[in-house]
Structure 1
Amino acid sequence: MRSIVISSNSSGGGKTTVTVGIMKALMKKGFDVQGYKVGPDYIDTAFHSRITKKPSRNLDLYLMGEEGVKASYSRGVGELGVIEGVMGLYDGKGIDSSYSTAHVAKVLNLPVVLVISPKAQSATLCAEINGLVSFENANIAGVILNNISEGYYKLLKKSIEYNCGVKVFGYVPRDERLLLESRHLGLVQSSEIYDLENRIDILSELILKHVNVDELLKYFKQTFVYEDRFHLDNKNLKIGVAYDKAFSFYYRENIELLSELGEIVYFSPLKDNKLPENLDFLYIGGGYPEVFLDELSKNKYMLKNINRALNNGLRCYAECGGLMYLSKGIDNGEFERDTVGFFNGKAVMTKKLQNFGYAEIEIIKDDRILKKGTKIKCHEFHKSYVTCEEEKIYNLEKTMYDGEIKSWHCGYKKNNTLGAYAHVHFFENIDFLQQLVNGNK
C-alpha cells in the first residue's frame, strides 16, 4: 500500500471534507482506497467507510501504542491509504506534539498534505506554512487550499510558490452544497445524511477539476507490512453487539478481537424487540442515544429484555452512550424518557463537556469481573453526566498540560455488567477485554 496523511493547521480546517473527496476522486480513477483516522474519533471513520465501502481504521498512539498503530495500519486493504489527521498537525495530548498527526506520520514514515481554509491573508499564510514545515521538520509534501474563490486561489498559489518550498496541489472552491452539519460531539453521523453520496460525488468532481490529483499521487509513499501480534484464541462465545444509528461508536479492531473469541451477532436497540438468543457477552458502545431517545424509549420490549438478561447475570460491557442507555432514563435537555433501568440513576445532557481527553484507569476494587490494579488507557468525550448509585470500580487520572493530575471515579458495576464513560481500544488493553469476557480468574 502507498499512503499519505491529510492534516491541517487547526480543527475545522476542512480535513474531513477534503479527505472524503480525495478518497472518492481516487476511486473514480480506478484505485482501491483504504481510509484511516488519526486519534480516537468514531464519526470521521464512518464517513470514510461509507465512501470506500470498507471499514476505516483508527491510528491512535496513546490508546493503541506504536505497535498497535502499525498493526492497525497493516490490517488495511487497498492500493492507496488516505489517513485523515486530527486537530492541527502538531496538536496532541498536551503542550507538545506527542500523539499528534505529525507523530503518527513520523512513526509510519509518511508525507503530509496540509488542508488550509485561509481567510483575509496571503504572505502571512506563507509564514504559517513555513512555521508548520520547520517546527519539527515534518515531511510536508504540499498544500490544498479549501473553501476559497478562484481569484483568491490564484493569489495564494503565487504567494506560496514564491515564499514557501512546498507544492500547491490545488484548491476546493467554496460551495454551499458541500457543508456537513455538526452537533454536540462533532459532525452529524454519515448514516443520518440521506444525500451524502450525492454531496461526495459533487466534491470529488470539484477535486478532480481543481486539484492536480495525478501530481498528488506521486507523493503517496509505500510502507512496510508491520507485525500484528494482537490476536486471541477462539472461546466459542456468542457476542451481541448493539449497532444502529443510536449506537455506532466502535473501533474496528475491537470488533475484530471479539470476533476471534467467537461469533458476533449485531442487533438494533432501535428496531429489534429482543436480544439475540443464547448470548455469552453483550457489548453496547457509544453513540447518540440522547438524539434517538424517543425511539429507544418506545421500544419497551427491548428495554425489558435487556434489563432481564443483565439481572440474570449476562456479562455486559457498556461504553458512554451504552452506560446512559442502561440507566433508568435520559434527560436530553428537551425531554426525559425511560431507558433500560438496570443501573440505578439517570443520564443528563448538559451544554458543556463534562470530561474530555486521554486518561488512565486503575481498577480500585477486586471482584469477579475485573482484577484490582488492572490499568487501562482510555479516552472520554461527553456532555452528559450520570447520577448513578451503583458501585464504582474505576479511578481515572488525567495529566493536565501543567502537570496537575485530575482524578475522578467512574466504572459502574452491577452483577456481571460494567458501564463507564471511558472509551477503550482493546489493542493496548487485551487483558482488560479477557477479564470482561472470562471474569477475574
Structure 2
Amino acid sequence: MRGVVLGGTASGVGKTVATLAVLRALDDAGYDPQPAKAGPDFIDPSHHEAVVEKPSRTLDTWLVGEEGTRRNYYAGEGDVCVVEGMMGLYDGTVASTAGVAEALDVPVVLVVDASAGMQSVAATALGFREYAEAAGFDVDVVGVLAQQTHGGRHERGIRDALPESLDYLGRIPPMGELEIPDRHLGLHMGDESPLDRDTLKSAAEHVAVERLVDAAREPPRPAPVDARARTEKRVAVAADAAFCFEYPATRDRLGDRAAVVTFSPVAGDDLPDCDGVYLPGGYPELHAEALADSPALDALGDRAADGLPVLGECGGLMALSESLTTSDGERHGMAGVLPADVTMRERYQALDHVELVAREDTLTADADGSLRGHEFHYSSADVGTDARFAFDVERGSGITGDADGLTEYDTLGTYAHLHAESGAFDAFLDRL
C-alpha cells in the first residue's frame, strides 16, 4: 500500500477538504484508497470514513511510536493511503506531520491556500521543501495541491512558477459547498455534515490522480508483535453521538480479545449484560438531557458499586460524574459513580499530548507504569475532597493539573484519550 501525506502550510488551509477530494478522486479513478490522519484527532477521520466507507487510521508518533505508526498504517486496507496532516507540516512540540511522514518514509504533498497568490505559492512550497533539512527532518516535499484556486490564469501562474523539484498535483476550486460547519472541539462529525457527493466529485476532477499515485511510496513494514490471548469476556462499548471518539485500533483490539457489544445511552438502550464497560469520549454536553434519563447510566451506578470494571475517557468521565452543567447553565444528573461535578466552559481547558504515571495498579496500567495519550476538552471537573486519583500527570493537565484518573470502586475516568498501542486496553481486558 503506497502512501502520501497531505501536509499544510498552517492550520485552516483546507487540508480536510483537500484530503476528501483526493480520496474521492482516487476512488473515481478505480483505486482503493485508505484514509489516515496524522495526530490524535477523532473528527477529521469521521469525514474520511463518510467518503470511502472504511475507518481512517490514527498515526501519531507520540501516542504509538514509529513502529506503532507503521503498524497502524498497515492495519488499513487498500492500494493508496492518503494521510491528512495536522496543523502546519512542521508544527508540534512532541509530534508533527513531518514526523509521521519521516516515520513512514512517504512523500509530502503540500496543501497551500492559494486564494491570494500565484508565484508566491511556489516560493512558499520551495521554502517548506528546503526547511526540512534545517529542521532535522528527512522529509521529501514533492509537490503542491493548491487550495481555493481558480482555473485559467490563476492555475497557470502557480503551475508555471513551480521549480522542477516540485510537481503541480492539482487544485481545489473555491466552492462554498465545500465548507464543513464547526463548533467547539472542531468540525462537525462526518455523519452530521457530510459534503455533498456531487460537489466533492466536481472538486475531485481537478486532482492530478496519476501523478499523485506515481509520487506515493510504500513504507517499510513494521516488526511483528505477539498476539495477546483472547478472553471469554464480554465488553459493552457506548457508541452514539455522545460517545463517538474512539480510535479504530481500540475497537480492533477489544474485538480481537473479547466479545464486543455496543449500546446507545442517548437512544435509551439498557446496559447490556457484560463483564466490563468502555465509555469513549464525544459530546455528552450536547445530549445531557437524554443521558440524564438514560437507563444505561442508571444501571451503571448500581453495577459499578458492585465492582463492574468501567473505563471512561473524557466524555465518558463526564457521564460517570455526579452532574454535568451545560453551557446554558442547565445542570443534569449523570451516572453518579465518580465524585465530580463537571461544568462546560467557554474556551478549551486543555489541548495537548499527555503522559501519565500510575500511582498504583489500576484498570489501564500497573503501578509506576507510564501511558501516553491526548486531551482536548472544554469542561472542568470540581472533585470531592476525598477523591482518589490513579495517575500523576507528567505532561498535560489531567483533571486537577497534576493528577488524572478519578477512581471509585473498579471504575476509572480520565480526561486523557488513550490508544490501543499504549497497552491500556490490554490491561483493561486482563483485569476483567
State the TM-score, normalizing by the size of structure 2.
0.92
Distance 1:152 1:230, change over 3 A: farther
| Percent of aligned positions that are identical | 30
Displacement of 1:433 in angstroms is: 3.1
Of stretches 233-242 and 381-390 in structure 1, the one that deviates more from structure 2 is 381-390
The answer as to whether partners of 2:142 and 2:165 remain within 8 angstroms in 1 is no
Bigger mean CA deviation after superposition, 145-154 or 176-185 = 145-154
Q: How far apart in 2 are the matches of 1:128 and 1:411?
A: 44
User: Do the aligned partners of 2:37 and 2:85 also contact (CA within 8 Å) in 1?
Assistant: yes
Q: What's 1:60 paired with?
A: 60
The alpha-carbon deviation at position 184 of structure 1 amounts to: 0.8
Aligned mates of 2:323, 2:153 — CA distance in 1: 52
The aligned residue for residue 181 of structure 1 is 181
Partner AA of 1:282 in structure 2: V
- Residue type matched to 1:140 in 2? V
Indicate which of 398, 401, 406 corresponds to 2:395.
398
Q: Give the corresponding residue for 2:155.
A: 154
Distance 1:135 1:121, change over 3 A: same
SS at the partner of 1:4? strand
Q: In structure 2, what is the equivalent of residue 403 of structure 1?
A: none
Alignment of 1:115-194 (within 5 A): 115-137=111-133, 138-150=139-151, 153-154=154-155, 156-158=157-159, 160-161=161-162, 165-193=165-193
Counterpart in 1 of 2:325?
Answer: 331
Q: Tell me, in whole angstroms, the C-alpha distance in 1 between the residues paired with 2:345 and 2:355.
A: 24
**In structure 1, the residue corresponding to 2:286 is in which secondary structure?**
coil
Relative distance call for 1:184 and 1:399 in structure 2 (3 A) is closer
Note the C-alpha offset of 1:111. Answer: 0.9
Distance 1:367 1:303, change over 3 A: closer
The one-letter code of the counterpart of 1:83 is: V
Counterpart CA distance in 2 for 1:260 and 1:101 is 29
Deviations 1:172-228 (A, max 9, x none): 1111111101111011111212xx25x2431232221x2322222221223344334
Counterpart residue number, 1:13: 13
Alignment check: 8 A CA contact 1:231 1:260 kept: no
Matched residues in 2 for 1:158 and 1:315: separation? 58
TM-score w.r.t. the length of structure 1 is 0.90
Residue 97 (structure 2) pairs with residue 101 (structure 1): yes
Distance in structure 1 (CA, Å) of the matches to 2:111 and 2:201: 15
Q: Measure how far apart 1:409 and its partner are.
A: 1.1
Q: 1:244 to 1:135 in 2, by over 3 A?
A: same
CA-CA distance at 1:368 after TM superposition: 8.1
Residue 256, structure 1, aligned to residue 255, structure 2: no
Unaligned ranges ≥5, structure 2: 134-138
1:151: Cα distance to partner? 5.2
1:240 to 236, 243, 247: 236
Tell me if structure 2 keeps the 8 A contact 1:290–1:330.
yes
SS of residue paired to 1:148: coil
Distance change in 2, residues 1:407/1:302 (3 Å): closer
RMSD: 2.2
Aligned pairs, number: 422
- The match for 1:349 among 308, 324, 344 is 344
Equivalent-residue separation in structure 2 for 1:178 and 1:49 (angstroms): 17
Is the contact made by 2:362 and 2:390 (CA closer than 8 Å) also made in structure 1?
Answer: no
SS in 1 for 2:180: coil
SS at match of 2:255: helix
Partner SS, residue 218 of structure 1: helix
Query: What is the rounded CA distance, in whole Å, between the counterparts of 2:244 and 2:322 in structure 1?
Result: 21
Cα deviation digits, residues 98-133 of structure 1 (max 9, x gap): 521111111211111111113434444333222100
The structure 2 residue matched to 1:308, chosen from 284, 302, 323, is 302
The answer to whether the Cα contact below 8 Å between 1:153 and 1:171 also exists between their aligned partners in 2 is no
CA contact (8 A) 1:8 1:88 kept: yes
The SS at the match of 1:386 is strand
Residue matched to 2:40: 40
SS at match of 2:215: coil
Give the AA of the match of 2:429. V
Q: What corresponds to 2:136 in structure 1? A: none
CA contact (8 A) 2:119 2:158 kept: no
1:411 pairs with 2:380 = no
